[in-house]
Structure 1
């Protein structure tokens, strides 16, 4: 006896049975790789916060930023670049991040800045034995000065700069060598970063600092407005606030400044 049955045999053979789980797995892999394991290209000036090791940057700020971004699934690829070139690459988006930078209105046109996390003194460096009386910026008039191109000092300095005989160069290395060879009477520099560069070149004993501080500037992290990772700024700010509250940043500064002061 034949039994009537409206049910048709399924056409889904073994191949279709395995195809669906495979498709789901591929979607999961694509989503995971699109949201994690991404690389942020980052640079910054050599200083006590950033040290050059071969062709990469290392140091306490690199460690701090790597810790922050790793929580979001990002890796940091550091690059050693001349300052002016790094700024240009931030404008184009070729470089994602500047790890150590001063905030200015002009830079805000092409960068998003984090909250400040460190304050550093800006001073006047001179060849050893060639100090002069310095109580205000007006005392720099009539002297041959040096500064790094695109380095922002202060609003007061910017207002006076056109009245100064000042040569702009591409790196602190150039300034150290020029002052040591007495090819300039003074340079306006961030104290600690400049001192690290002088020590690297073995020329720290050829230089000295005038006692008056020109400005106290705050250091920020900046991301290019053309970077696909610029959305991380609020996350970075949240982590900076947490690290200030729990004392991690204060401890980092204390240890780092203690290291440089012990070498002076």
Structure 2
């Protein structure tokens, strides 16, 4: 299966860094299945792509730096690795008070509309308080914004919540009736539903919250001084339409390998 072009080949100037020797390699953590922000190619599990991945890759190239992505580490460990400096940078995350305190939080590269995805249409979820007495699921270590987290932390008895390690299993839990809903971004859920022909099976709630997606550095990383340079480049990418193009490329990549799940997609979903 031919994978569509994933990169923008641009004539980008290389920025010289006086202190580049302190940071010859940036170790970047990322999600393996967060469309369109960061995910592994279905046809090549060693290849990461997505808006945050490609923007980070482009910025590193302009800065004359090597970069290495780790998108197979469980999300909870990724968060811990940012705290300890085991990784230098996180390409794509929501902001929380703890992350703002512990990390050098960068600017936004895109935003995510968080939804509840459910199978029983009669649930008709419009707001986070409609999740009361419903059993939900989310990825272990994932945060969905202060408003949503308040009700989906698992600490409130009327809002039971399960956590799993594998992001790809989330919607399977709903399909098999093991939970009432799962938390997932709107764009990610819609592509999944479209790919597998589940338009009449799975439904999305109204928007629970809209979260900016950040790219940040660990305070303990020798690369932390690069935050300002990356922020500057990301702003340029947004202003010049590069981020929009990366979003289109992410969609093409997502659809190029429909075998990402044991579910059988519609034939028309395969390019």
Give the shorter-chain TM-score range.
Answer: 0.7 to 0.9
> How far apart, in 1, do the equivalents of 2:191 and 2:28 lie?
20
- 1:176 deviation in Å? 2.2
> How far apart, in 1, do the equivalents of 2:90 and 2:197 lie?
27
Deviation readout 1:189-236 (Å, 9 max, x if unpaired)? 123335566789x69569523241111111111111111101111001
Q: Which residue of 2 aligns with 1:151?
A: 142
- 1:123 deviation in Å? 0.5
Q: Which residue of 1 aligns with 2:102?
A: 110
Q: Which residue of 2 aligns with 1:213?
A: 207
- 1:166 deviation in Å? 1.1
Assess, with a 3 A threshold, how the Cα gap between structure 1 residues 197 and 149 changes in structure 2: closer, same or farther: farther
Higher relative contact order (CA 8 A, sep 6+): 2
In terms of Rg, which structure is larger?
1
Q: Are 2:95 and 1:95 aligned?
A: no
Structure 1 gaps, min length 5:
1-30
Structure 2 gaps, min length 5:
1-16, 256-267
Bigger Cα displacement from structure 2, 168-177 vs 140-149: 168-177
Q: Are 2:234 and 1:240 aligned?
A: yes
Bigger Cα displacement from structure 2, 98-107 vs 253-262: 253-262
Bigger Cα displacement from structure 2, 203-212 vs 70-79: 203-212
Q: Which residue of 2 aligns with 1:250?
A: 244
> How far apart, in 2, do the equivalents of 1:211 and 1:258 lie?
26
- 1:33 deviation in Å? 10
**TM-score computed with the length of structure 1 as normaliser:** 0.75
Q: Secondary structure at the match of 1:239?
A: helix
Q: Secondary structure at the match of 2:234?
A: helix
Within-5 A mapping of 1:54-93: 54-79=45-70, 80-93=72-85
Assess, with a 3 A threshold, how the Cα gap between structure 1 residues 140 and 37 changes in structure 2: closer, same or farther: closer
Deviation readout 1:61-106 (Å, 9 max, x if unpaired)? 3222111112222111111211111111111111111111111111
Bigger Cα displacement from structure 2, 133-142 vs 51-60: 51-60
1:172 maps to which of 167, 174, 192: 167
**In the alignment, is the contact (CA less than 8 A) between 1:36 and 1:72 conserved in 2?**
no
Assess, with a 3 A threshold, how the Cα gap between structure 1 residues 233 and 207 changes in structure 2: closer, same or farther: farther
Bigger Cα displacement from structure 2, 75-84 vs 37-46: 37-46
> How far apart, in 1, do the equivalents of 2:80 and 2:64 lie?
27
Assess, with a 3 A threshold, how the Cα gap between structure 1 residues 222 and 37 changes in structure 2: closer, same or farther: closer
Higher-helix-fraction structure: 1
**In the alignment, is the contact (CA less than 8 A) between 1:123 and 1:188 conserved in 2?**
yes
Q: Secondary structure at the match of 2:96?
A: coil
Q: Secondary structure at the match of 2:97?
A: coil
Question: Number of paired residues?
Answer: 232
Q: Which residue of 1 aligns with 2:7?
A: none
Assess, with a 3 A threshold, how the Cα gap between structure 1 residues 171 and 76 changes in structure 2: closer, same or farther: same
Assess, with a 3 A threshold, how the Cα gap between structure 1 residues 150 and 188 changes in structure 2: closer, same or farther: same
Assess, with a 3 A threshold, how the Cα gap between structure 1 residues 107 and 190 changes in structure 2: closer, same or farther: same
